[in-house]
Amino acid sequence: MLLKRLFGIIPVVFGVLLLTFLLSHLIPGDPVEVMLGESATAADRSALRAELGLDQPLPIQFVRYLGKLAQGDFGASIHSHEAISHLLAQRIPATAQLALLSLAIAIMVGLPLGIIAALRYRRWPDSLATVSALAFAAMPNFWLGPLLMLVFALWLGWVPVSGMESRLSIVLPALTLASGLAAILTRMTRASMLEVLNEDFVRTARAKGLPERTVILRHALKAALLPVVTVVGLQLGSLLAGTVITETVFGWEGLGRLLVESIEKRDYPVLQACVLVIALTYVVVNLLTDLVYARLDPRVRFSS
């Protein structure tokens, strides 16, 4: 089963590569003309066409694309002529830092809120947690971000408005990015806990006189967290995609910002590379989530 799951991602990865490759062929009209603008000479155009291999048939272009990727060669930026692998290496650490901090915040907020809501079912802590989870889920990053910026940076002056000069610069983008996942985690943990708290083994644990703390934390929570793990894995994707907007709002120089800059400059090879890196990261994260799930849940074992 483990091998099956591992091999299962091969067609997906192949499809992701094919779709990102085909992206540049969706550009209406002549991509070279779009990339270079109208002022370019015919010589410039044919040079770029040859550089991108656009004079070759599609299948050959795709095989070349794969061959280069296998060597870690993402091509060069049309705008700055820099190697894209170099650009990515510059930007990925900032995004990784932001995404991991957001994940940590979301877990530290979402799990306790969900547990408290389940334990105080239908009382005010539950209502408060449920309503705020609903509200935060309806707040896209490009609206929560400016709101936090207005209150905490412009009015209160606690943190910088944007950029990444100060150590506190990461606070607002991380909170913004964490909000959606925290909301979903709260809802999921609450629902999962409510289900588990009615199970026989929880009643048994209580009946044999275990302290309530042990019943909740050792017995109920352990079982309730299983479905939550899957959700975290799946939602990490939305978090990765959310970096595109959040980094734009706060001027955080990461992968998402690079992607938006590449759109503005019509630097399609850079755009392709960013999309590919984010999608492949997501595929790997999902694989890891399944493996973690299999380790946590004795009922799922990948080995036969």
Partner 1 sequence: MKKWPQVVLLFWCAMAVIAPWLGFQPDAIDLAHILNAPSLTFLLGTDDLGRDILARLIAGAGVSLTVAGVVTLVTFTAGTTLGLVAGYYGGWVDRVLMHVTDVFLAFPGILLAIAFAAVLGAGVDNLVLALCLTSWVGYARLTRAQALSLRGRQHVQAAQTLGASTPRILLRHVLPMLAPALLVEATFSIASLIIAEASLSFLGLGIQPPHASWGAMLRDGVRYLLVTPHYVLAVGVSLMSLVLAVNVLGDTLRDNFDVKR
Residues lying near partner 1 in the complex (CB under 8 A) are found at 11-13, 15-16, 18-20, 23-24, 26-28, 134-135, 137-140, 142-143, 146-147, 149-150, 154, 236-238, 240-242, 244-245, 248-249, 259-260, 263-264, 268, 271, 275, 278-279, 282-283
Nearest to residue 85, comparing CAs of 68, 60, 64? 68
For residues 48 and 92, is the Cβ–Cβ distance under 8 A? no
Contacting residues for 52 by C-beta, under 8 A, at least 6 apart:
31, 32, 75, 269
- Minimum distance, C-beta of residue 211 to partner 1, in the bound complex (Å): 35
- Minimum distance, C-beta of residue 38 to partner 1, in the bound complex (Å): 15
Q: Which is nearer to partner 1, 3 or 22 (CB)?
A: 22
Contacting residues for 116 by C-beta, under 8 A, at least 6 apart:
125, 126, 129
Distance CA 52, CA 75 (A): 8
Q: Which is nearer to partner 1, 97 or 238 (CB)?
A: 238
Here the tokens at position 15 are: 């499809």
Distance CA 51, CA 232 (A): 42
Q: Which is nearer to partner 1, 122 or 208 (CB)?
A: 122
What single DSSP character describes residue 60? H
- Minimum distance, C-beta of residue 207 to partner 1, in the bound complex (Å): 31
Distance CA 11, CA 8 (A): 7
For residues 304 and 2, is the Cβ–Cβ distance under 8 A? no
**HEC letters along 28-64:** CCCHHHHHHCCCCCHHHHHHHHHHHCCCCCHHHHHHH
Distance CA 297, CA 226 (A): 7
Q: Which is nearer to partner 1, 131 or 217 (CB)?
A: 131
- Minimum distance, C-beta of residue 175 to partner 1, in the bound complex (Å): 16
Q: Which is nearer to partner 1, 60 or 284 (CB)?
A: 284
Q: Which is nearer to partner 1, 128 or 137 (CB)?
A: 137
Distance CA 115, CA 196 (A): 11
Here the tokens at position 169 are: 């610069």
- Minimum distance, C-beta of residue 66 to partner 1, in the bound complex (Å): 15
- Minimum distance, C-beta of residue 9 to partner 1, in the bound complex (Å): 9
- Minimum distance, C-beta of residue 70 to partner 1, in the bound complex (Å): 19
Q: Which is nearer to partner 1, 216 or 274 (CB)?
A: 274
Distance CA 107, CA 257 (A): 25
- Minimum distance, C-beta of residue 27 to partner 1, in the bound complex (Å): 5
For residues 98 and 243, is the Cβ–Cβ distance under 8 A? yes
Q: Which is nearer to partner 1, 110 or 180 (CB)?
A: 180
